[in-house]
């Protein structure tokens, strides 16, 4: 059993495509012992793929609970990604052992779905803007240390006022003349 998805769920996604066995000597079926290892590898890959935005292992924002305490939508997204990557790993090792089936098209579809999910989570508003995400972060999921200010809001105004007790005011240095900017303006 993996941390984010179960071996049974991966087997269910591969039903009719890969035959599994508990007998390591059966050369015509995929060994479940290898499946367990590939699921763990797949979960590690998902964690690595999402580390630019989220802390790993995946926990809630307060670090009070583990993966099971996350909201259902967040758990399902991560679980689906882990299952898809597990399927990709299994199909990369063997498809249709003992048969003449070719699973390359099915594997390509799973890779496409996984890539779309990663791009959704890590998509930037502009190509070079780190931290300027297209979509808000997954609900209650702890963000990584390099992404600690990720609120999911676009265009948040940063208050540069030196007075911490006066949070709603404007920055102490301002340029109010539209013809001036920080390069050519005179700060009073």
Across-strand partners of 60?
A: 141
Q: What is the pTM of this model?
A: 0.75
Rounded CA separation 117/153 (Å): 20
Domain carrying residue 126: 7-147
Q: How far is CA 154 from CA 5, 70, 98, in A?
A: 32, 24, 53
- Please count the structural domains in the chain: 1
Token pair 């009719």 in the structure block, residue: 16
Residue 13 located in a structural domain: yes
Residue 153 located in a structural domain: no
| 58 confidence band (pLDDT: 50, 70, 90) | very high
Mean pLDDT of 76-92: 95
Rounded CA separation 22/31 (Å): 6
DSSP letters along 144-173, please? PGGGTT--S-SSPPPP--S-TT-TTS--SS
State what percent of residues in the chain have pLDDT above 90.
Answer: 45
Say which residue, 157 or 27, is predicted with more confidence: 27
Cα torsion 163, 155, 127, 46 to 10°: value is 80
Residue 36 located in a structural domain: yes
Token pair 């190509």 in the structure block, residue: 127
Residue 82 located in a structural domain: yes
Q: What is the pLDDT of residue 6?
A: 95
Mean pLDDT of 43-72: 91
Q: What is the pLDDT of residue 155?
A: 46
Residue 133 located in a structural domain: yes
Q: Work out the mean pLDDT of the chain and round it to a whole number.
A: 81
Residue 180 located in a structural domain: no
Rounded CA separation 70/48 (Å): 19
Residue 167 located in a structural domain: no
Residue 131 located in a structural domain: yes
Q: What is the pLDDT of residue 156?
A: 46
């Amino acid at each position: 059993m993996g941390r984010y998805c179960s071996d049974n769920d991966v087997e269910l996604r591969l039903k009719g495509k890969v035959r599994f066995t508990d007998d390591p000597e059966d050369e015509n079926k995929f060994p479940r012992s290898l499946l367990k290892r590939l699921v763990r590898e797949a979960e590690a890959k998902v964690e690595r793929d999402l580390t630019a935005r989220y802390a790993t292992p995946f926990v809630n924002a307060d670090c009070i609970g583990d993966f099971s305490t996350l909201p259902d939508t967040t758990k399902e997204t991560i679980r689906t990604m882990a299952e898809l990557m597990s399927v990709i790993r299994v199909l990369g090792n063997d498809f249709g052992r003992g048969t003449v089936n070719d699973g390359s098209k099915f594997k390509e579809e799973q890779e496409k779905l996984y890539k779309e999910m990663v791009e959704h989570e890590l998509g930037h508003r502009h190509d070079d803007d780190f931290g300027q995400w297209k979509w808000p972060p997954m609900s209650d999921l702890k963000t990584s240390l390099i992404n600690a200010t990720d609120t999911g809001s676009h265009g948040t105004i940063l208050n540069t006022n030196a007075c911490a007790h006066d949070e709603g005011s404007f920055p102490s240095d301002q340029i109010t003349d539209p013809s001036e900017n920080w390069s050519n303006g005179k700060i009073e």
